[in-house]
Amino acid sequence: MSGFQEVMLATLTERRFSNADWLFERKLDGMRALSTRDRKRPELWSRNRNRLDERFPELIEALADLGGPRFTADGEIVAFDGKQTSFARLQPRIHPTGDSRIAGTGVTVHYYLFDLLSYDGHDLTRLPLRDRKRLLRAAFEFRDPLRFTTHRNTEGEAFYAEACERGWEGLIAKRAASRYRGGRSKDWLKFKCVHDQEFVVGGFTDPQGSREGFGALLVGYHDGHGTLRYAGKVGTGFNDRTLRALRERMNVLAQDQSPFADPVHEHGAHWIRPELVAQVGFTEWTTDGRLRHPRYQGERTDKPAEDVVRETI
């Protein structure tokens, strides 16, 4: 039970409910991370099997000091913008390593644990979630930057209304008796207060006026057959630094042909290999399958491009 394991993922739903057989957690707007330890130094893994130890050394130290010698735990790395967790605020910490570069970002991170997959050499994935949460709380000494993800029982609808009033991203509803299984599951459900998801970047347009880098990202998602479908262009949510950094990344991925199966009628379009993944917020999907009022929220390095699909109810 040491090393990377496939994480359990929630399924989007528009059905809000209250049920004594379910528990409800705050949906955190951060980066999913699995932590493991087998008597040696803890390891931190992204959901797409990348090691995060050097990017978040303070979390490694906390896991070493506050956890036992053998464990596998699931959680979310977050940064706060005021009282809200913010993936955009976390962005400066995604890539830097080394004490001076990390300190230079000025971004403080926390690691919220919400599940325990193994402890002291015992596989816990077959236990009910409620038992795993109870064991998790006892397995670590929770103090910053390590935090326990609390939950509420039964009253999902009232908690959802409260979450949206507070400006949270939403809730995760979890069947209290569910086992831990890697991959997408309907035992975990997403109650979203906002619309956002990951998209694959397949190209960009030329900048206009005094803008540097590029004008807009051309983004899409994979359908059920692995085909990359076009979802629209994203032209807001960038600062000058992000515009320059993304353009440098995209220059390396340049190719002649569009990666999208659909025709893209954008003036000054340039194409790239579909490897970059961006988090995008939007108000709704249009009837022709395009994003309305999309806004860039950050780059996702924790999800492979080939796994990006349109979230459906």
Distance (Å, whole) CA 203 – CA 102 = 30
Known catalytic residue at 174: no
Contact 45, 34 (CB under 8 A): yes
Contact 273, 259 (CB under 8 A): yes
Burial class (CB in 10 A: 0-12, 13-18, 19+), 11: middle
Distance (Å, whole) CA 272 – CA 250 = 6
Distance (Å, whole) CA 102 – CA 8 = 29
Structure tokens at 5: 């394991």
Active-site position among 27, 133, 174, 192: 27
Distance (Å, whole) CA 183 – CA 170 = 21
Q: How do beta strands 170-175 and 151-154 pair?
A: unpaired
Indicate which residues carry an active-site annotation: 27
